[in-house]
């Protein structure tokens, strides 16, 4: 079934309930990164321009109960006092986000109150035509994330009463079967995707179903166990599969190489061997590090030590790829027509070990300039291209970490499926 979008419906005079992903980093009530807010503005503006009566926005912002419990535990361990009310006010309330959005839109955004998402129908209906309303954090309600469908239904029905049309533009939570992301669609006549959701689907789904070939996939990060499904999915179409980051050492050990003190998952060695065998059977090339930048300890202040070869000395751990590996990346990516990147190839957060990921980002950006489709998905990969100021050089940078990964795994995401028909 095809994805239905905002362009497929008439908004004139209609009330709209829209799920956005405004789960942005906050510090003392101040938005620290507005990427996700900015990404939703084209859909918000379009709906208002098409004459919607009211536009009510729903989002989560962290998970108040869980986040407060973690912060309290951390404070207790360090012997510090903890003010739960102040923590929630500064981290989880939507009012500051509503105020921030108002500045970006250049028009007021009415906050519906800190008393939650229930009982707001009369309030919404009383607003002037063209008003944007922001609900409180949906995760203040246990019904939002309840595993039981009947429990989710209570909140889903309530939110559905706030709009004749449901618009889902929250790709970052599209993999969650929550009340405000999927269950709500059962109780609204029309459910469509916003522009952000449409763009994410249009770039990510074809990589799994029908990519422009040759396809090169770059999978990095710490653990093989978290990337097994996506590796298997991408191998169906990839000509080249670059494996980097901590997970590469499990593959190198599976090949019989020495990895020193590098990160390894011994319980995933058989999995790594199977992936290597599957790739060989399909005629796909798996690219593993040829050389490294190592350290004696996992520390931001550690001195980088070059190792000119695949094997890592016993007293060192691999922290980044070396120049031979970077050159290999450039060679294999030169042949690709589509490149998808999920996960860094080194500990890029530490400046001494960020060169491999930075150079990889530059190579991919250069391929974009040559007409190659380049897609960056995954939180750390996105953080990397933002750090190196190369996000605008990519065809598409996904706003969803878990959602993009699951879509690349070939899974059907609840928040997307409800917008199809």
Contacts of 412 (CB under 8 A, 6+ apart): none
Residue 60, token pair as written in the block? 């989560």
The dihedral sign for the CA sequence 318, 321, 324, 329: positive
Identify whether the C-beta of residue 397 lies closer than 8 Å to the C-beta of residue 388: no
Check 36, 91, 199, 227 and give the catalytic one. Answer: 36
Query: In sequence order, what DSSP letters do the residues of 258-303 get, joined into one string?
Result: -BTT----GGGHHHHHHHHHHHHHHTPEEE--SSEEEESSS-TTPP
Active-site residue flag, 379:
yes
Check 379, 400, 401, 415 and give the catalytic one. Answer: 379
Contacts of 128 (CB under 8 A, 6+ apart): none
DSSP 8-state class, residue 136: P
Q: Give bridge partners of residue 165 from the DSSP assignment.
A: 16, 190
Identify whether the C-beta of residue 64 lies closer than 8 Å to the C-beta of residue 139: yes
Active-site residue flag, 19:
no
Closest of 363, 303, 296 to residue 334, by C-alpha: 363
- CB neighbour class for 321 (10 Å; exposed up to 12, middle 13-18, buried from 19): buried
Alpha helix (H) ranges present in 309-411? Answer: 323-333, 355-369, 379-387, 402-408
Residue 404, token pair as written in the block? 């993009």
Contacts of 28 (CB under 8 A, 6+ apart): 90
Active-site residue flag, 327:
no
- The Cα–Cα gap between 190 and 4 comes to 10
Active-site residue flag, 36:
yes
Check 104, 223, 362, 411 and give the catalytic one. Answer: 223
Check 113, 130, 304, 402 and give the catalytic one. Answer: 402
- CB neighbour class for 123 (10 Å; exposed up to 12, middle 13-18, buried from 19): middle
For the chain, what is the total number of helices (H) and then of strands (E)? 15, 17
DSSP 8-state class, residue 177: -
Residue carrying the six token digits 């952000």: 196
The b/e string for 334-347 (b: 16+ C-beta within 10 A; e otherwise) is eebbbbbbbbbbbb
Q: Catalytic residue numbers?
A: 36, 223, 379, 402
């Amino acid at each position: 079934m095809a994805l239905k979008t905002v362009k497929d419906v008439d908004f004139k005079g209609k009330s709209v309930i829209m799920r956005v992903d405004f789960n942005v980093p906050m510090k003392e009530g101040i938005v620290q990164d507005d990427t996700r807010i900015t990404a939703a503005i084209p859909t918000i503006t379009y709906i208002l321009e098409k004459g919607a009566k009211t536009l009510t926005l729903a989002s989560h912002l962290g998970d108040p109960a869980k986040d407060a419990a973690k912060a309290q535990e951390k404070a207790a361990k360090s012997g510090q006092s903890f003010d739960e009310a102040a923590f929630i006010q500064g981290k989880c309330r939507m009012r500051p986000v509503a105020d921030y959005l108002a500045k970006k839109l250049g028009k007021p955004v009415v906050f519906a109150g800190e008393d939650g998402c229930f009982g707001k129908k009369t309030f919404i209906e009383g607003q002037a035509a063209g008003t944007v309303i922001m609900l409180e954090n949906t995760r203040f309600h246990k019904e939002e994330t309840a595993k039981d469908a009947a429990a989710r239904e209570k909140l889903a029905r309530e939110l559905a009463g706030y709009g004749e049309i449901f618009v889902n533009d929250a790709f970052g939570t599209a993999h969650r079967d929550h009340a405000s992301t999927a269950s709500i669609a059962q109780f609204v006549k029309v459910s469509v995707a916003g522009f952000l959701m449409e763009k994410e689907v249009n770039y990510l789904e074809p990589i799994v179903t029908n990519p422009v070939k040759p396809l090169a996939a770059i999978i990095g990060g710490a653990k093989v166990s978290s990337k097994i499904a996506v590796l298997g999915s991408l191998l169906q179409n990839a000509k080249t599969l670059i494996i980097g980051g901590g997970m590469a050492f499990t593959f190198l050990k599976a090949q019989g190489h020495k990895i020193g003190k590098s990160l390894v998952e011994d319980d995933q060695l058989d999995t790594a061997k199977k992936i290597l065998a599957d790739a060989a059977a399909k005629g796909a090339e798996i690219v593993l590090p040829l050389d490294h930048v190592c350290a004696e300890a996992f520390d931001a202040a550690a001195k980088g030590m070059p190792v000119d070869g695949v094997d890592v000395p016993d007293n060192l751990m691999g922290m980044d790829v070396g120049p031979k590996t970077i050159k290999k990346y450039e060679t294999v990516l030169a042949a690709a027509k589509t490149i998808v990147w999920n996960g860094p190839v080194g500990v890029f957060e530490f400046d001494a070990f960020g060169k491999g990921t930075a150079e990889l980002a530059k190579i991919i950006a250069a391929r974009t300039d040559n007409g190659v489709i380049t897609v960056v998905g995954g939180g750390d990969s996105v953080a990397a291209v933002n750090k190196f100021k190369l996000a605008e050089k990519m065809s598409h940078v996904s706003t969803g970490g878990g959602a993009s990964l699951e879509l690349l795994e070939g899974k059907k995401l609840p928040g997307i499926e409800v917008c199809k028909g």
